[in-house]
Amino acid sequence: MEQHEIDVKSDPVSLEVKALPAGAPPTFSGALGSFSMTVEANPKRVQIGDPITIKAAISGRGNFGRMDAPELSDERGWHKYPPSSNFKQDDDVGISGTKTFELVISPNEKLTNVPPLAFSYFDPVKEKYVTLHSEAVPLMVEGNAPAASAIAGTSPSASTPPAPGGQQKTQDILHQINDRGKIVSSFAPIYARKEFWLAQLLPFTFALGLMGWKVQNVRASNRAALRLAQLQHERDRLLRKLRRDQLAPREYFSDASRVVQLKTALKQTNIEPATVDAETAAQVFALNAEQSERMRRLFATSDEFRYSGAGNGRECVIQRRTARNIGIDRKPFMKPRALLQILVLLLFALPNAKGANDGPSRTGDDLFAKANTEFAAGNFKAAIADYQTVVDSGERSANLFYDLGNAYFRHGDFGRAILNYDRALRLDPHHPETDANLRIAHEQAHSLELAPSALEKYLNFGTANFFAIVAAIFFWLAIIWLILRPGRVLWALASIFLAAICGFAAFTLENGTRGQGLAIVIAENAEARVATVDSARSVLALPPGSEVVILEERGDWNYAALPNDQRGWIVANAVERVRL
């Protein structure tokens, strides 16, 4: 069988390419075909500056590759971010399907609805332009737009004329702080530091001492009970001997006087039997004169027999043996005052939690002052370098990060400015200058912020460190209560429950939107993607200064929670963690 090549050619097909007619609407980007559009926006209740995600799905048949995102019909009062898109085709050639756009916008003022979206295309069948309009989405915007503030902390004047064109004057940051403030050695939460666990030695030692004191008291009570039992046993034994009437006079009177001593000691427990005489017995039992005289004669006769003959040695031995059997109370091994002294010594013996070299060094002070001078002269790049050198030395403080943030702000790097403002607030959550400048930086950078969960909002009155300390206090209170009042378990259980609640609160805050995973976008044109490749579909465009929570690190990419309640992969060098 032989093979031959044969050329097969089709007949030419005539095409007529028509130019698009004039009068294209402003929202036309080159889409041709027949389409429909659906739009939804969430959330519908936000604060001023919070992000709103609009999903616009355009379905139909046409050239989806030339299709751009729909536009807001009225952009006044809104800030827009670059959109992302995703195309799902319904055929093999990609001219039929649905293209979904995600647009993120944020309100700059109080508005009542998201304006309609407009999308234009050319319909080749009808030979005309068609513009699709969505419905306005009802919206509730809360909060107040920030008012402009003056430079260097001066008050704005009511007579200041408005900026040209009716635009609001750009808000400026507050002044530098020339005092370095309190030096902090670590960003780690307090329960992750060794000093916190060393400090637990104090209540632990106190609890051990308290337990020893409690055990000593129990033993003392047991010795008193044992002494009473021994006295009662000896008394009963002697009474049985006396009832037999077979004793010699010397032994009878000795045992009889001993029984009186034992009964007196049993009636008044702070008296030793050997010290009881006739007067003591008469006083304890409240005897009348005749009974007291008979008691005196009994003891006198016993003494006469005891010291008048050969039986002295035996009676003395018996007395000494009885004394040994009864025993004398020993002093407790440790008094409460001595225990307190030991705890005070331990308190001062513990190493300083900050360490010997955590104070500000002379070199750090000089660099900090030099950086402030450079900042005042407008040399922001040099100021940043000097501030960063102090940071790298480990001598960190909220004021240092605040000044470094101001330097980045003046240098035009809003991402790193917001990063350092956040670090300042991590070291000092109640730093008013940082809080004010952070709001200004977010506004000018148009960055996206993470929304805290409902539980984080409820716990906003405290920090993870605060709840960790309170949890430790409740725990040790429960332990001490169990030692002092072992029969009353309810209060101890309540303290343990409160300790567990505070521990859970600390864990929630440490792993929330302001916890250990918080990071700031520092790169321009950063985008979160669905996979760890640059060509993967974009999930969200992230302006510099936007907040994310890093969930996983994989090579050159980080998997993060995003401000629009989604998740995506971000290039690792595009973000930087707040915690150092």
- Tell me, what's the pLDDT at 342? 52
Residue 3 pLDDT grade (very low, low, confident, very high; cuts 50, 70, 90)? confident
Give exposure, 422-440, as e/b (b: 16+ Cβ within 10 Å).
bbbbbbbeebebbebbbbb
CB 130 within 8 A of CB 97: no
* Mode of pairing for the β-strands spanning 518-521 and 52-62: unpaired
Q: Quick check: 338 pLDDT over 60?
A: no
Indicate the SS3 state at residue 434: helix
Residue type, 119: F
Q: Is 537 helix (H, G, I), strand (E, B) or coil?
A: coil
Report pLDDT for 171. Answer: 60
| Residues 6+ away with beta carbon under 8 Å from 53 | 41, 42, 102, 103, 104, 564, 565
Nearby residues of 121 by Cβ (< 8 Å), 6 or more positions away: 28, 31, 32, 33, 34, 35, 62, 67, 129, 130, 132
Other CB atoms within 10 A of residue 474 CB: 19
User: Residue 452, preceding bond cis, omega within 30 degrees?
Assistant: no
For range 499-525, the mean pLDDT: 87
Kindly tell me if the per-residue pLDDT of 346 is higher than 60.
no
Alpha carbons 35 and 117: distance in angstroms, whole number? 14
What's the pLDDT tens digit per position in 208-236? 888 888 888 777 777 777 878 888 888 88
Whether the Cβ atoms of residue 437 and residue 407 lie closer than 8 Å to each other = no
Contact between 496 and 475 (Cβ < 8 Å): yes
Given a cut of 60, whether residue 322 has pLDDT beyond it is: no
* Weakest mean pLDDT among 79-93, 142-156, 260-274, 364-378: 142-156
Quick one: three-class SS letters along 242-293? Answer: HHCCCCCHHHHHHHHHHHHHHHHHHHCCCCCHHHCCHHHHHHHHCCCHHHHH
**C-alpha closest to that of 483 among 202, 226, 218:** 218
The answer to whether 72 touches 117, Cβ cutoff 8 Å, is: yes
User: According to the model, what pLDDT value does residue 223 have?
Assistant: 75
E strand or H helix that includes residue 101: strand 96-107
- The answer to whether 404 and 411 have CB atoms below 8 angstroms apart is no
Neighbours of 102 (CB within 10 A): 20
Does residue 381 contact residue 408 with C-beta atoms inside 8 Å? no
DSSP 480-516: HHHHH-TT-HHHHHHHHHHHHHHHHHHHHHHTSTTST
| Mean per-residue pLDDT over the chain, rounded | 80
Angle at 460 between CA 458 and CA 461, to 5 degrees: 105
Render pLDDT for 162-211 as a digit per residue (tens, 0 to 9). 444 444 445 677 778 888 888 876 777 777 778 888 888 888 888 888 88
**pTM strictly above 0.85:** no
* Helix ranges restricted to H, 113-200: 194-199
385: Cβ contacts below 8 Å, ≥ 6 apart:
none
| Contact status, residue 424 vs residue 398, Cβ threshold 8 Å | yes
User: 315: which DSSP letter?
Assistant: H
Which residues are 33's β-sheet partners? 62
Cα dihedral 440, 445, 451, 456 sign: negative
Give the integer Cα–Cα distance in Å for 186 and 394. Answer: 8
Q: Check if the beta carbon of residue 255 is closer than 8 Å to that of residue 238.
A: yes
pLDDT score of 427 more than 80: yes
Total number of residues shown for the chain: 580
Confirm if 194 and 319 have CB atoms less than 8 A apart: no
Query: What percent of the chain clears pLDDT 90, i.e. is strictly above it?
Result: 22
User: What mean pLDDT do residues 417-445 have?
Assistant: 88
- Cα–Cα dist 509/463, whole Å: 7
Q: What is the pLDDT of residues 14-51, one digit of tens each?
A: 888 888 888 899 889 889 999 999 999 988 888 887 78
Q: Inform me whether the pLDDT recorded for 391 exceeds 50.
A: yes
Q: Would you say residue 154 has pLDDT above 70?
A: no
- Residue 515, pLDDT > 60, answer yes
Between 243 and 546, where is the model more confident? 546
